[in-house]
């Protein structure tokens, strides 16, 4: 039987079209999955810089990440760690804001951004902090490092130790100001956010300095006295409502970086940008992350939890034990929805058996938004109550007998 060639061609074409339609349908599904993936990670287009991260400072929640674990040169945002060690030293009682710091020849020799300190010039610690955080003074950073640790090298060792304590796994410092081009001086956007959070939460007074736009300092040297104006390198202070800091940085190697801190409606956000191509993109990206975060976040803090009643203690040296909240309950919503009425549920026993120890868990307070549990905070015993001993019971019995005998004697005398 001879097949009609035209019919055979039409049949083959129909077969191929059918195959293409089936494969094409599969292609649409794959394309749809790819688009969905782009949507889920499509926030990457939010910033132009190759690396950035957004963190809520109170809880440490990461709200946005892009290239956040890529090792990069940090430039002057290195000084965030320098400032952290300065405030650590004050907290430990080894340094005061009024202490006098003398500028060495080495500190004076620093290039890059500087406040033009002269060899032998003295400034107090508070002025040096302003020079570092406002004007990004490399000379002031080195002078403070030498004052605290004896040398910049020793200070840098402490910087790396502090980074390790904070869990900054992808960070290594070579200097205290970020001027170096060494490949061994690096950090990540995530690690910058971590040290920024530590600085602003442990020492919130830093924001009083980082939010200063302009301020004059006085140089007093052998040549006489002259004023010098510190101008903040963080332009977001003027262009973004709620911005209070924190630090900028730029070198040819690092390009343009910023760790920006802003506060609105009780929420504090940290936006880190690294490797931006120019200063305009750096600040535009920073503002974009902050806008994104504030549009997504809602915060609930139980600032006035109900007073906790004492609970009964069985077979203890006290009949009751007091309770205390372990901490303040805080909940961060990141869905862009405002939270409804929050309800509490107290879970503690009516009575406990001695012994109970101070600091041990007694129960918890649970928090709900409707049927959804938001979280809980532990309730702890606020004191230790030992189990009653035979000696304690005898003493207690003796006191009761003495009390009753006293009452009986008084009754007989008045009768």
pLDDT tens track for 339-360? 778 999 999 999 999 999 999 9
Element (H, E) at 298: strand 298-301
Give the active site residue among 89, 104, 136, 141.
Answer: 136
Which pLDDT score is estimated for 43? Answer: 52
Angstrom distance (rounded) from CA 152 to CA 78: 13
Query: Residue 137 corresponds to which tokens in the numbers above?
Result: 């003074």
Query: Residue 147 corresponds to which tokens in the numbers above?
Result: 């004052």
Residues with pLDDT less than 50, the chain = 1-3, 8, 15-41
Which pLDDT score is estimated for 394? Answer: 67
Domains and CATH numbers, the chain: 51-296 (3.40.710.10), 297-405 (2.60.410.10)
Which pLDDT score is estimated for 18? Answer: 45
181: left (phi over 0), alpha (psi -120 to 50) or beta: alpha
Angstrom distance (rounded) from CA 365 to CA 305: 9
Strand order in the sheet with 323-325: 323-325, 372-381, 361-369, 342-347
Residue 79 annotated among the catalytic residues of the structure: yes
Query: Residue 131 corresponds to which tokens in the numbers above?
Result: 């020079």
Residue 389 annotated among the catalytic residues of the structure: no
Angstrom distance (rounded) from CA 398 to CA 312: 23
Q: 138, 141, 142, 79: which is closest to 114 by C-alpha?
A: 138
Angstrom distance (rounded) from CA 202 to CA 166: 13
Angstrom distance (rounded) from CA 243 to CA 153: 33
Which pLDDT score is estimated for 4? Answer: 52
Taking a C-beta distance cutoff of 8 angstroms, is the pair 283, 256 a contact?
A: no
Which pLDDT score is estimated for 6? Answer: 52
Which pLDDT score is estimated for 10? Answer: 56
> How many Cβ atoms sit within 10 Å of the Cβ of residue 243?
26
Which pLDDT score is estimated for 34? Answer: 30
Element (H, E) at 260: strand 255-264
Which pLDDT score is estimated for 299? Answer: 84
Which pLDDT score is estimated for 17? Answer: 44
Give the active site residue among 66, 79, 190, 255.
Answer: 79
Q: 254, 150, 246, 174: which is closest to 205 by C-alpha?
A: 246
121: left (phi over 0), alpha (psi -120 to 50) or beta: beta
Query: Residue 82 corresponds to which tokens in the numbers above?
Result: 């320098």
Angstrom distance (rounded) from CA 67 to CA 274: 9
Within 8 A by CB and 6+ apart from 207, the residues are: 200, 244, 245, 246, 261
Taking a C-beta distance cutoff of 8 angstroms, is the pair 75, 103 a contact?
A: no
Q: Is the pTM of this model over 0.75?
A: yes
User: How many alpha carbons fall within 13 Å on the CB side of residue 148?
Assistant: 33
Give the active site residue among 73, 76, 250, 388.
Answer: 76
Taking a C-beta distance cutoff of 8 angstroms, is the pair 363, 325 a contact?
A: no
Which pLDDT score is estimated for 139? Answer: 96
Residue 136 annotated among the catalytic residues of the structure: yes
DSSP, res 144: H
Which pLDDT score is estimated for 39? Answer: 30
Which pLDDT score is estimated for 393? Answer: 65
> How many Cβ atoms sit within 10 Å of the Cβ of residue 93?
7
DSSP, res 322: -
């Amino acid at each position: 039987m001879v097949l009609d060639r035209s019919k055979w061609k039409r049949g083959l074409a129909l077969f191929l079209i059918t195959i293409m339609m089936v494969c094409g349908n599969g292609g649409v599904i794959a394309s749809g999955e790819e688009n969905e993936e782009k949507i889920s990670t499509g926030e990457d287009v939010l910033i132009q810089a190759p690396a950035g991260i957004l963190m809520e400072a109170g809880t440490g929640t990461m709200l946005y990440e892009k290239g956040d674990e890529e090792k990069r040169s940090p430039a002057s945002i290195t000084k965030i760690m320098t400032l952290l060690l300065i405030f650590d030293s004050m907290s430990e009682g080894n340094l005061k804001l009024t202490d006098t710091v003398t500028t060495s020849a080495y500190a004076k020799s620093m290039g890059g951004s500087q406040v033009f300190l002269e060899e032998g010039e003295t400034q107090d610690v508070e002025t040096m902090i302003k020079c570092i955080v406002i004007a990004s003074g490399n000379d002031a950073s080195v002078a403070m490092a030498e004052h605290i640790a004896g040398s910049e090298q020793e200070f840098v060792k402490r910087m790396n130790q502090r980074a390790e304590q904070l869990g900054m796994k992808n960070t290594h410092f070579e200097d205290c100001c970020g001027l170096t081009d060494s490949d061994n001086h690096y950090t990540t956007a995530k690690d910058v956010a971590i040290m920024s959070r530590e600085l602003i939460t442990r020492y919130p007074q830093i924001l009083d300095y980082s939010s200063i736009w302009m301020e004059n300092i006085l140089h007093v040297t052998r040549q006489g006295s002259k004023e010098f104006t510190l101008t903040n390198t963080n332009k977001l202070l003027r262009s973004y409502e709620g911005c209070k800091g924190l630090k900028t940085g730029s070198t040819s190697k690092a390009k343009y970086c910023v760790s920006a801190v802003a506060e609105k409606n009780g929420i504090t956000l940290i936006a880190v940008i690294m490797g931006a191509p120019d200063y305009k993109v750096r600040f535009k990206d920073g503002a974009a992350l902050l806008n994104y975060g504030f549009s997504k976040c809602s915060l609930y803090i139980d600032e006035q939890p109900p007073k906790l009643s004492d609970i009964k203690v069985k077979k203890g040296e006290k009949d009751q034990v007091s309770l205390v909240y372990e901490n303040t309950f805080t909940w961060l919503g990141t869905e862009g929805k405002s939270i409804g009425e929050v309800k509490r549920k107290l879970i503690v026993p009516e009575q406990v058996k001695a012994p109970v120890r101070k600091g041990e868990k007694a129960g918890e307070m649970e928090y709900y938004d409707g049927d959804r549990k938001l979280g809980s905070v532990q309730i702890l015993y606020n004191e230790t109550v030992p189990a009653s001993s035979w000696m304690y019971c005898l003493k207690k019995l003796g006191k009761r007998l003495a009390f009753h005998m006293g009452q009986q004697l008084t009754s007989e005398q008045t009768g």
